[in-house]
Structure 1
């Protein structure tokens, strides 16, 4: 006699831990995404994962991660539903659970075109667009001259101050993980003052540039050029479409748009911080 399973709307939603990393990567692969185990590892330790186990014992049937930045903001990312369970309400159920857990905390996320209608139904509104770029960096058009160097331990405090000012919330729990998570962290400075920083971290066969915080587009370009010179892998990054000069420069130097996403917010008039100096997220999954 075949085993019977509870209805999908009665399957328990549980907190995920770092022990679920491979199951999360398997779920990514199931949906045609990259496994991105390194990114999952960061998100599951710096944030809170939620998931529903497949009653047939085949890993996770749905999952997502929430990265909190205090009472003023949290970011939702990596919302996935296994192919066998799509369009059966489990993604909506998981999101409603996450919204209930968040309470009054404002939320942000980067939505694909497939996910955007659901998020709109759940009260999210569009706050902008982002382009994902990928390619081998070929320095055809040089970056403006800036002083860029490897970050040191002494840079941590000024970097955290600058990041909180520009991001608009406290990302200490993520920024302090960068030296171990990223292969390279660079800072830009002028007259002894740090004017920007960026990180280069490995993800499958690419290196991702993010976060990228800078005083102006020229400083952002100088940071990218310095980070790009440190790798022979293709680069990936996500850039707010309002940064037209950086996007044009990146495309002239070998990167191409491979996807677009909609930046969405809930219970907020707009994202906090200063978008004009916030060029790329660490990862869109963490806001």
Structure 2
């Protein structure tokens, strides 16, 4: 068997994008490029042909996520997913590692030491039928995020799920629409980003202390998006999913949250919306 596992490079992105297209995943080439830039990927090649890939994102020195674990449809059942996972897990001994599993993948991840600790609700609409009104909680003000907010957003994000993601937030503040809600003392009570992803627009991360703050951020970002494709991924343990349904964003998937290590306990802030299911 002439098979090689090696680190992913930027030159692999086009082939990985093609693999996801074959599986009918929504990722654009630009989504793959960002994922590869922020993460550490591995690929499997056989006779020089790329037939599988996966990416690890190292968020600080204690937490990581794994996603975009893909094996060519014609190569299923050969244990390639396990090889990819083992290659990534070797990079982060002692880390708390999180992923979101399909039913098909759960068995493999359990054998590798991952345990179920919740589920994600993927909500989306092909065309937002009615743009909801924005209701700002009393005594809070809405504004755009600026570069000076970077360190604060990174710290609040880490409170929500234990991941330290400064490079991600540089990207979100500079290249996307990111907004914050703050009180009269200029203390940020929540923030969220709107960005291009997949078939249209994704809202996330959504980090907030309370549900009304998350709802205000989401509706503010929806302004002007009537008729557009919108997606939000939320933790099934939080009370956002039912409200999203009332806005016309139906649940279309419910992957399982799995962690190898100690699941994070939120410290004041909650992750009402994910960046992506892969990066969390």
| TM-score normalised per structure 1 | 0.89
For 1:85 and 1:181, locate their aligned partners in 2 and report how far apart those are by CA, in whole Å.
37
Identify which of 236, 239, 261 aligns with 2:234: 239
Deviations for 1:112-158, whole angstroms, at most 9, x for unmatched residues? 11111111111100011110000144245764545222212222232
Unaligned 5+ runs, structure 1:
1-6
Equivalent position of 2:52 in the other structure: 62
The answer to whether the Cα contact below 8 Å between 1:141 and 1:253 also exists between their aligned partners in 2 is no
For 1:174 and 1:36, locate their aligned partners in 2 and report how far apart those are by CA, in whole Å.
18
The answer to whether the Cα contact below 8 Å between 2:150 and 2:173 also exists between their aligned partners in 1 is no
Shift of residue 31 of structure 1? 1.8
Matched, 1:200 2:190: no
Shift of residue 111 of structure 1? 0.6
SS at match of 1:14: strand
Identify which of 266, 277, 280 aligns with 1:284: 277
For 1:142 and 1:273, locate their aligned partners in 2 and report how far apart those are by CA, in whole Å.
26
Equivalent position of 1:104 in the other structure: 94
Shift of residue 237 of structure 1? 1.0
Q: Quickly say closer, same or farther: Cα 1:206–1:107, change in 2 above 3 A.
A: same
Shift of residue 181 of structure 1? 4.2
Equivalent position of 1:26 in the other structure: 18
Count of residues paired in the alignment: 274
Q: Quickly say closer, same or farther: Cα 1:71–1:155, change in 2 above 3 A.
A: closer
For 1:148 and 1:277, locate their aligned partners in 2 and report how far apart those are by CA, in whole Å.
18
Q: Quickly say closer, same or farther: Cα 1:159–1:121, change in 2 above 3 A.
A: same
SS at match of 1:278: strand
For 2:232 and 2:45, locate their aligned partners in 1 and report how far apart those are by CA, in whole Å.
32
For 1:256 and 1:169, locate their aligned partners in 2 and report how far apart those are by CA, in whole Å.
28
Q: Quickly say closer, same or farther: Cα 1:43–1:140, change in 2 above 3 A.
A: closer
For 2:243 and 2:141, locate their aligned partners in 1 and report how far apart those are by CA, in whole Å.
19
For 1:164 and 1:152, locate their aligned partners in 2 and report how far apart those are by CA, in whole Å.
19
SS at match of 1:28: helix
Shift of residue 224 of structure 1? 0.2
For 2:116 and 2:18, locate their aligned partners in 1 and report how far apart those are by CA, in whole Å.
30
The answer to whether the Cα contact below 8 Å between 2:189 and 2:209 also exists between their aligned partners in 1 is yes
| TM-score normalised per structure 2 | 0.91
Q: Quickly say closer, same or farther: Cα 1:61–1:114, change in 2 above 3 A.
A: same
Deviations for 1:24-59, whole angstroms, at most 9, x for unmatched residues? 1101112221242222111111110110124264xx
For 1:156 and 1:33, locate their aligned partners in 2 and report how far apart those are by CA, in whole Å.
31
Q: Quickly say closer, same or farther: Cα 1:275–1:154, change in 2 above 3 A.
A: closer
Superposed, 1:154-165 pairs within 5 Å as 154-165=148-159
The answer to whether the Cα contact below 8 Å between 1:127 and 1:271 also exists between their aligned partners in 2 is no
SS at match of 1:176: helix
Q: Quickly say closer, same or farther: Cα 1:91–1:234, change in 2 above 3 A.
A: same
SS at match of 1:98: helix
Unaligned 5+ runs, structure 2:
none
Shift of residue 202 of structure 1? 0.5
Shift of residue 161 of structure 1? 2.5
Identify which of 12, 15, 29 aligns with 2:4: 12
- Where has structure 1 moved over 3 Å in runs of 4 or more? 139-146, 272-276
